[in-house]
Every structure is written in structure tokens, then in C-alpha cells.
């Protein structure tokens, strides 16, 4: 299991629709609203890194999404759902493109 954390910036006035879309996705674990440059902090999960790349690509395809931030990735999760080791940082180009 792979857990990915990222931030998303959306067009002004589109926050509610993007939030609802993110909440409805089964691969999005949680979404937090932010104040500042980014609109949301998103926690995602997939079976492998390529699954996270697909999730992020789908999110970026939304017309109202301006950009996504760097992705923090953890590739090991213990049986209770917690992270077993320190997460590694991955640049957005490696995951998004």
C-alpha cells in the first residue's frame, strides 16, 4: 500500500465542487481545506506508486485545478494503518507527469 500526501490549488469559487469530487473518490482518504496559496491538503492511497500517479493525473485533469504541490510518499503501512517508516519526498514531475 502506498500513501501519498499533496496540496491542490483550485480556481477561486470552485472550492466546493472540487472538495465534493475529492471526497467522493474511494482512493482519497481525507481532504483538508487550507488558507493560503493552496486550497486543499489531500491524503490518497493506492496499491503502488503508479496508482498514485493515476490519481494525481485524474485530479489535475479537472479544469478548475490550477496546480498540485509536491508529493510526500510512504510505501510501507503497518497492519493498523500507520506508517512503518519515514516517508520519502518525491518531486511532482516524477509522479504527475
Q: Give this prediction's pTM.
A: 0.75
| Cα–Cα distance for residue pair 54/77, rounded to 1 Å | 20
Residues near 5 by beta carbon (within 8 Å), at least 6 away in sequence? 41, 42, 43, 44, 71, 72, 73, 87
Give the gyration radius of the chain's Cα atoms: 13
Residues near 78 by beta carbon (within 8 Å), at least 6 away in sequence? 84
Q: Tens digits of per-residue pLDDT, 29-39?
A: 999 999 999 99
Percent of the chain at pLDDT above 70?
77
Residue 73: the pLDDT is 82
Q: Tens digits of per-residue pLDDT, 55-92?
A: 999 999 999 999 998 888 887 655 455 544 444 444 44
Set out the domains of the chain in order of their start, with CATH numbers: 2-96 (3.30.70.920)
Q: Mean of the per-residue pLDDT values for the chain?
A: 82
Amino acid at each position: 500500500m502506498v500513501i501519498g500526501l499533496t496540496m491542490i490549488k483550485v480556481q477561486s469559487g470552485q472550492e466546493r465542487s472540487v472538495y465534493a469530487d475529492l471526497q467522493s473518490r474511494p482512493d482519497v482518504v481525507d481532504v483538508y481545506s487550507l488558507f493560503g496559496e493552496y486550497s486543499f491538503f489531500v491524503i490518497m492511497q493506492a496499491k503502488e506508486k503508479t496508482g498514485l500517479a493515476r490519481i494525481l493525473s485524474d485530479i489535475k485533469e479537472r479544469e478548475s485545478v490550477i496546480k498540485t504541490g509536491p508529493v510526500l510518499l510512504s510505501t510501507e503501512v503497518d497492519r493498523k494503518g500507520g506508517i512503518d517508516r519515514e516517508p520519502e519526498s518525491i518531486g511532482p514531475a516524477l509522479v504527475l507527469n
